[in-house]
Structure 1
Amino acid sequence: GGTLRSLSGTELTMPFKIENIPDSLKEDTQEHLSRSMNFFNKVNKEFQKLQEQLQRVTEQRDALRAENESLKMSLRTQADQQQVVKPVMLSPASNMLPGSGPVAKPSTASEGGDRFVIDRHHSNLHKAPVHSVAMSEDSTRVVTASWDATVHVFDLTRQVLDKTLRKQNSEPMGGLYSVAFAKTAPDILGCTSVDRHVYLWNYQTGTQQFKLGGEKGHQDEVNGIDFHEGQQVMATASDDSTAIIWDFAEGIPLRTLVHPGKPVYGVTFLGKDPERQYFVSTCCFDQKTRVFDMRDKKVVVTLSGHTDDIIGIDYSSHGILATGSDDGTILVYDIKTWKVLHKLDCKVDMSQDTEVKRVGFSRDGDMLAAACSTGSVVVYSGFTSADKPRMLQKLSGHTDCVFDVAWGVTPSGSRLLVSASHDKSVRYWKET
């Protein structure tokens, strides 16, 4: 017989007496047992090494803990020796909207040199990411649409949450992707949903006008929406590779614009100028921007230049079209020649991991704001001059992807910019 020790040190007695085995097998059996013992000895040695390493790691851990406690004591001593700094006072509660964060007191341009300063901040505005924001033509109301399937309507004049639009009559309404005010019907707004429908509301009364979908509607998630400046039509863009032109007053589809097999994310009309009042432009996940003539549904031009999904699209009355892409760039096209006027690289102006989401021109067309995946908004200016636009300012403060922006004008006539983020908040930026 023989004695071995287990990995824990306990003696193990193993019989090595070979009985009742033919002589021809005894040698093989003995060799097998010998190999087994050698293997066990190797494992035992490795285990002992691991125990020694564990002991060293434990000693290092204890030393680090002691050093950490020493550093804590040192920091406490330094803190006790420093002067007390007075906290920054927030604006009074009377300036806060229900459910919003405090209204930050705007600094002046001479204090910080920034063109835009934070005016107010609505934190935890929704229960889910805020995916879209829009401002009424008279800049008195802001609406936000969220994945929580609600639209909040804010009255900026009274600084109150005026209404919350949600499912009616027990009919479900899915998470919302976009929202916009009708330009020819001041009481109407539209929103698009993951549930494949488009919803039209009278936001003054809080009543739902239409729920558009079904066989003649979209067959997949609806991503974008825009209203015409001079006609009672709207356009919607969907993952079903189509854009649909609707008569929103009657709630009926007029045209379906088919795209080649990729989701269509954004859509915008090209104004009410007689030459282009029937033109509508879409941006698609095939990295193309298309301009359609609504009358015959034909593609007028296909614009290239992006290398990733195109998310944002907006038109300026100065005759330029801007698109924003996950490739981190903004392309600005001249709609007279369909040539690229400017390529703005947000990866250079912001950071290398920047993706551009929705984009929007200011009311006067001189500025363009881009919502970015990095939690910031970048503002460019100079689109009404002959020079190349320049980056004016980076607006920070959100803690998650900023997906949409909207422009308006304050009562004093300065620009007002609103940003909507997946951090469930909305920020208002006022021009100084």
Structure 2
Amino acid sequence: MAAAPITINADEVNCLIYVYLKDSGFQHTAFSLLNEGGLQHSVHLEKNIPRGELIELLIKALLYTEVEAHWRGNNDMTGNCTTGFSLLETHVCSLNPNVKPTVKLSSSNPASAPVIMAPPSASASEHSEATQKRKASTPVAEEGHLDKRQRTAEADSMEVEEKNTDGASTLLLRVKSPKSPAPPIRVSGSGSAPASGPESEDTSDAVRQLKGHEAEVFVCAWNPIHHQVLSSGSKDAVVHLWDLPQTPTIKAKNPKPFQTIDCSSTKVDSDLTSLDWNCHGTLLSVGSYDATLRIYTASAELYFESRLHKGPIFATRFSKDGKWLATASLDNTVCLWDIEKKQRRMQYKHRGICLDLDWLDEELFASCSADKVIHVLSVNHVDPIAVLTGHDGEVNQIKANPSGTRLMSCSDDMTARIWEMRRVKQSSEPDQVTISGEMTVLEGHRNWVTGVSWSPMKIPGEHELVATASFDSTARLWDANTGVCLKVFTHHKKPIYSIAFSPDGRWLATGGGDGWFHLYDTMTQQEREKVWSWLSEHQKRAIFEMSWQQHEGGVDRVALALQSHKVGLIDLTRIPALQKSRTIS
């Protein structure tokens, strides 16, 4: 049977480039291409082209090039090549003399033998694109792509696993026999999910999908005081406030938002990138791609608005006491706002795009940027009081531990780092932050590390736990003191966009571009296995962000920002497998 033809035309390529330019902030260049190429008349531009689709296709082309170059048979170069791949340079294999050949092919039946390949270094193309993409620290994820193409029988015949052996990561490509049937998959929950308990377990009432947005939902956040209130923000430039009682009836209809806030701008993109409630639950900050900072009251009334930023706002964070608000922007600046006075107090400058920030205490916070450094800032001084260097790529996200004594960062250099923070007070000098001892480097990921999370609780007899998420489609659990990788989770098939521990530290959740929500038990030290999963049934499957809620009265639920234009709501108390796991441990 003849293979189906592969067709590519100039109009398709122009549409991909146009969407890439627009997502990267090159509005004038995108406008020129739109007119020069006549794309306003293109049928392809009307289709859903996910963010980062051009980059994904280029990466797949490089992977195919790598396979084509190395899949040559029994030679040392196959497994030990140390030369990376790039888009514009011819690949020439280079042998690592310190590594023994790792490829073994059976002479009688090469197709059925397992093949082990050493992990290649990151391609130059990934790093060259790094400065032009929107980061995972903003829920406007660039790589929010769809799985448009059906998996072929050839693709299904090869599976990829990653194992952690003596601290080293090894990529295994196991070729399965075409005659071997795939194991059956059991489903549970709303949508599709692998069963985490008995086959008869029904969790259909545990998942609700709230309809109301008209485009991808990028961000969501629970009100910390009014527990029934959930906020969600979308590409449609609308913020919805939902009234979600703690104990809804099983057969209750999906609620409609009780308040709708329109943040649209008629001149520029108004994709919403950040939502954050103050500690009192009275004010909600909204970051947007139209460079406008908006703050609303809990009753959806506009409290404050500012257009002092000159580029998209990627992050907004209230201080722990709610007195200040910090914002990070594409214009290379971080701004500090006085909430009571409704004015900007300070502006701090980076040498690159400011991507994320987090507060250490009521007066100190940190910001990271595309210039590979982290600034520790004070509400009282315009200059950084500490500059943390060490990353070799854009710093995508930073998170302080619950006590504010340590800071974790992740980067395009495929590492995460933990910085020891110590406050030093001197009478003759302003407050300073110094690095107490050396930083801890977490190595093992094979692509950009874009998300980090601290466990809010310590397991007796163990150090603090941290988790990382990467575009290599894996999540990792680490010992924050020693930097040892405790577990590698390999259940996702596409980049992971969101990762979070539950407020009690019991569970670790991940959400990715493949539409899967995976839940892991982090308290069972011997296992630390996946205990439950849920899959969005919609074609637009990506999970961009999650917000967790736990409090007295047995409330334990997670809100999900979905590419399907919906807000997912998972009630963990209605999942029998999780209750059994909690009881056993």
Fold match by TM threshold 0.5: yes
Contact 2:217 / 2:233 at 8 angstroms: preserved in 1? yes
Structure with the greater alpha carbon radius of gyration = 1
Structure 1 residue 189 corresponds to structure 2 residue 300 = no
Contact 1:377 / 1:419 at 8 angstroms: preserved in 2? no
Structure 1 residue 270 corresponds to structure 2 residue 401 = yes
Deviation at 1:260, TM superposition (A): 4.9
Task: Read off the aligned partner of 2:465 and give its amino acid letter.
Answer: I
Q: Equivalent residues in 2 for 1:256-267 (5 A)?
A: 256=348, 257=367, 259-261=369-371, 265-267=396-398
Deviation at 1:152, TM superposition (A): 0.6
Deviation at 1:426, TM superposition (A): 1.5
2:76 is matched with which residue? none
1:415 is matched with which residue? 556
Cα distance, 1:225–1:395 mapped onto 2, change above 3 Å: farther
Q: Equivalent residues in 2 for 1:279-358 (5 A)?
A: 281-289=408-416, 296=432, 301=439, 303-305=441-443, 306-318=445-457, 319-335=464-480, 337=481, 339-345=483-489, 348-351=490-493, 354-358=494-498
Looking at structure 1, the residues matched to 478 and 283 of structure 2 have their Cα atoms a distance apart, in angstroms, of 30
Cα shift readout 1:22-44 (whole Å, capped 9, x = no counterpart): xxxxxxxxxxxxxxxxxxxxxxx
Cα distance, 1:241–1:309 mapped onto 2, change above 3 Å: farther
Deviation at 1:356, TM superposition (A): 0.4
Contact 1:143 / 1:153 at 8 angstroms: preserved in 2? yes
Cα distance, 1:291–1:297 mapped onto 2, change above 3 Å: farther
Looking at structure 1, the residues matched to 340 and 411 of structure 2 have their Cα atoms a distance apart, in angstroms, of 27
TM-score, normalised with respect to structure 1? 0.60
SS at match of 1:364: coil
Deviation at 1:163, TM superposition (A): 0.9
Structure 1 residue 402 corresponds to structure 2 residue 498 = no
1:5 is matched with which residue? none
Looking at structure 2, the residues matched to 388 and 310 of structure 1 have their Cα atoms a distance apart, in angstroms, of 24
Aligned-residue Cα RMSD (Å) equals 3.8
Cα distance, 1:357–1:112 mapped onto 2, change above 3 Å: farther
1:131 equivalent among 198, 218, 225: 218
Contact 1:360 / 1:369 at 8 angstroms: preserved in 2? yes
Cα distance, 1:241–1:299 mapped onto 2, change above 3 Å: farther
2:520 is matched with which residue? 380
Cα distance, 1:430–1:258 mapped onto 2, change above 3 Å: closer
Cα shift readout 1:323-353 (whole Å, capped 9, x = no counterpart): 3221212233444x262443433xx3233xx
Bigger proportion of residues as strand = 1
SS at match of 2:257: strand
Deviation at 1:390, TM superposition (A): 1.5
Deviation at 1:304, TM superposition (A): 4.1
2:302 is matched with which residue? 208
Q: Equivalent residues in 2 for 1:10-409 (5 A)?
A: 112-113=200-201, 118-123=206-211, 125-138=212-225, 139-157=227-245, 159-167=255-263, 174-182=270-278, 184-202=279-297, 204-212=298-306, 214=308, 217=309, 220-230=311-321, 232-239=323-330, 247-250=338-341, 251-252=343-344, 256=348, 257=367, 259-261=369-371, 265-271=396-402, 273=403, 276=405, 281-289=408-416, 296=432, 301=439, 303-305=441-443, 306-318=445-457, 319-335=464-480, 337=481, 339-345=483-489, 348-351=490-493, 354-382=494-522, 384-387=523-526, 389-399=528-538, 400-409=541-550
Contact 1:242 / 1:264 at 8 angstroms: preserved in 2? no
2:156 is matched with which residue? none
Contact 1:239 / 1:264 at 8 angstroms: preserved in 2? no
Cα distance, 1:378–1:338 mapped onto 2, change above 3 Å: same
SS at match of 1:339: coil
TM-score, normalised with respect to structure 2? 0.46
2:565 equivalent among 420, 424, 427: 424
Deviation at 1:410, TM superposition (A): 8.0
Looking at structure 2, the residues matched to 316 and 164 of structure 1 have their Cα atoms a distance apart, in angstroms, of 33
Contact 2:456 / 2:501 at 8 angstroms: preserved in 1? no
Cα shift readout 1:395-425 (whole Å, capped 9, x = no counterpart): 1124321111121248851421222111111
What percent identity do the matched residue pairs reach?
19
Cα distance, 1:247–1:376 mapped onto 2, change above 3 Å: farther
